[in-house]
């Protein structure tokens, strides 16, 4: 087991750079923090490159570390890498999943310009729980591998496909693969409960302030809304996405 003490060590400098999107995209790697996320990463061994552990912090004996390099660091280095105020002193460097160029699943969540990392992470986690194949992040969305998104996703980024790019392109690909896209909008929409989805479908949600881009809504099979029974003007986007994802999935299972 290697022990690094210097903040000037090139490896430490690289780890610190992974807090920035530019370095993550350049190296196709990212940094996980905390026992739960590192343990989840260990279950997908092909994606974990290295574990970093603060001195005096113990790795659980039940973990299978075969083939995984482990580096011990000082408390100073651990603190520099941490994105949380009360860090657990354990991290993992992981490889991003390869992004497929074609549609290979049946259920997708498309997200348009949602910038809040907590909402992005929650939607990734919910899509995973609801049995979706992938989440597609359009332009203007928070980075799927930022520390705050990773924490909110609670390891689901390791289970569900994460795609990104121009939503126009992905909507076209979904249509070519016979996967209908359902948008979310009040204008021209119907209650989500009025729609019975087929075996394949994609749900498109957008920014809470401005909604989904009208250009994308014009390409959907049908646009949906969730009825509001109280005085609130709208629902949080992650909550709304969760309601529709589960309703569609349960409808498919019942069918």
> Would you say residue 52 lies in a domain?
yes
DSSP strand pairing (29-33 vs 90-95): antiparallel
> Would you say residue 60 lies in a domain?
yes
Number of structural domains the chain divides into: 2
Q: 110 with 245: CB under 8 angstroms? A: no
In this predicted model, what pLDDT tens digit does every residue of 128-173 receive, in sequence order? 999 999 999 999 999 999 999 999 999 999 999 999 999 999 999 9
Q: 210 with 113: CB under 8 angstroms? A: yes
Q: Output the six-digit token pair for 71.
A: 């580096």
**24 and 117 share one domain:** no
**124 and 153 share one domain:** yes
Question: At a CB cut-off of 8 Å and minimum separation 6, what does 148 contact?
Answer: 83, 117, 118, 121, 142
In this predicted model, what pLDDT tens digit does every residue of 64-98 receive, in sequence order? 999 999 999 999 999 999 999 899 999 999 999 88
Question: At a CB cut-off of 8 Å and minimum separation 6, what does 239 contact?
Answer: none
95, 127, 153 - which closes a domain: 95
**54 and 149 share one domain:** no
Q: 130 with 159: CB under 8 angstroms? A: no
Residue 6 is predicted with a pLDDT of 97
Distance of CA 130 to the CA centre of its chain: 14
In this predicted model, what pLDDT tens digit does every residue of 41-69 receive, in sequence order? 999 877 999 999 999 999 999 999 999 99
Answer whether residue 255 shows pLDDT above 60: no
**125 and 235 share one domain:** yes
In this predicted model, what pLDDT tens digit does every residue of 12-25 receive, in sequence order? 999 999 999 999 99
**194 and 148 share one domain:** yes
**67 and 161 share one domain:** no
Residue 45 is predicted with a pLDDT of 79
Residue 186 is predicted with a pLDDT of 86
> Would you say residue 100 lies in a domain?
no
Higher pLDDT, 210 or 170: 170
> Would you say residue 64 lies in a domain?
yes
Write the DSSP string, 136-186.
EE-TTPPPTTSHHHHHHHTTGGGTSEEEES-HHHHHHHHHHTT--EEEE-S
Residue 42 parent element (H or E): helix 35-42
pLDDT band at 254 (very low <50, low <70, confident <90, very high): low
> Would you say residue 76 lies in a domain?
yes
Domain containing residue 30: CATH number: 3.30.1330.30
Residue 46 is predicted with a pLDDT of 79
**126 and 190 share one domain:** yes
**112 and 31 share one domain:** no
95, 115, 142 - which closes a domain: 95
Answer whether residue 251 shows pLDDT above 60: yes
Write the DSSP string, 191-205.
EGGG----S-EEEEE
Q: Output the six-digit token pair for 126.
A: 């919910």
> Would you say residue 102 lies in a domain?
no
Residue 44 is predicted with a pLDDT of 84
40, 70, 95 - which closes a domain: 95
> Would you say residue 119 lies in a domain?
yes
**46 and 126 share one domain:** no
**121 and 247 share one domain:** yes
3-state secondary structure of 190: strand
By residue range, what is the domain housing residue 122? 107-254
Q: Report the alpha-carbon distance of residue 22 to residue 121 in Å, rounded.
A: 19
Answer whether residue 193 shows pLDDT above 60: yes
Residue 233 is predicted with a pLDDT of 87
> Would you say residue 11 lies in a domain?
yes
**29 and 79 share one domain:** yes
**46 and 140 share one domain:** no
pTM of the predicted structure, to 2 decimals: 0.95
pLDDT band at 253 (very low <50, low <70, confident <90, very high): low
The proportion of the chain whose per-residue pLDDT surpasses 70, expressed as a percent, equals 99
């Amino acid at each position: 087991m290697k022990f690094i003490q210097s903040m000037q060590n090139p490896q430490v400098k690289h780890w610190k750079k992974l807090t920035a999107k530019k370095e993550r995209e350049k190296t196709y790697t990212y940094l996980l923090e905390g026992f739960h996320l590192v343990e989840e990463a260990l279950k997908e061994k092909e994606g974990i490159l290295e574990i970093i552990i603060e001195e005096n912090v113990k790795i659980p004996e039940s973990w299978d570390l075969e083939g995984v390099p482990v580096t011990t660091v000082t408390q100073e280095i651990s603190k520099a890498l941490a994105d949380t105020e009360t860090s657990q002193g354990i991290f993992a460097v992981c490889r991003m999943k390869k992004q497929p160029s074609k549609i290979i699943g049946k259920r997708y969540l498309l997200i348009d310009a949602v910038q809040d990392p907590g909402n992005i992470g929650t939607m990734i986690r919910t899509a995973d729980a609801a049995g979706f194949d992938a989440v597609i992040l359009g332009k203007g969305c928070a980075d799927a591998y930022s520390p705050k998104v990773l924490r909110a996703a609670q390891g689901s980024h390791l289970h569900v496909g994460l795609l990104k790019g121009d939503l126009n392109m992905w909507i076209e690909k979904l249509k070519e693969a016979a996967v209908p896209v359902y948008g979310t909008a009040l204008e021209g929409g119907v209650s989500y409960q009025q729609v019975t989805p087929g075996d394949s479908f994609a749900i498109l949600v957008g920014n809470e302030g401005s909604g989904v881009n009208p250009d994308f809504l014009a390409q959907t099979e049908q646009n949906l809304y969730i009825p509001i029974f109280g005085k609130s003007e709208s629902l949080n986007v992650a909550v709304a996405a969760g309601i529709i994802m589960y309703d569609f999935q349960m409808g498919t299972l019942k069918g």
